[in-house]
Amino acid sequence: MSLTLAEPQQQFQPQPQAQQAEPQAVSLAPREEEALRHIAAGHTYLQTARHMGLSKHTVDAYLRRIRSKLGVHTTAELTRLAIALGL
C-alpha cells in the first residue's frame, strides 16, 4: 500500500520581520528560585513544600509560573535550566 498526495505541498518560507524582538531577561522571585533549586536536586513537590514551609499546591503554582516564564514544559527541562543557571 502506498500513499500519494493529490497536490504537492508548499514549503514553508518564513516572512521577514520588520523588527527583531530583543530577548528579555527573565527574573525569578527568591521563593521561585528556592523551589526550583529543590526540584532540580531531585526532591518531590511534597519534600520541597515541607522544607519551605508551604503547601505542595503552592510549590506547584511556583513551578507552573517558572515554566511559563522560562518557556519550558518538563521537569527535566527545568532541571537542566537550573544547572545551567548554577542553582
The pLDDT tens digits for 29-83 are 899 999 999 998 999 999 999 999 999 999 999 999 999 998 999 888 888 888 8
Q: What is the pTM of this model?
A: 0.65
Is the pLDDT at 7 greater than 60? The verdict is no
Q: What residues have CB less than 8 Å from 51, skipping those under 6 apart?
A: 38, 43
Closest listed residue to residue 63, CA positions, set 83, 85, 44, 50: 44
Q: Shortest CA distance to 31 belongs to which of 57, 58, 56?
A: 58
Quick one: pLDDT at residue 58?
95
Residue-level pLDDT at 28:
87
The C-alpha angle with vertex 78 and arms to 75 and 82, in degrees rounded to 5, equals 140
Residue 8 has pLDDT above 80, yes or no: no
Amino acid at 54: L
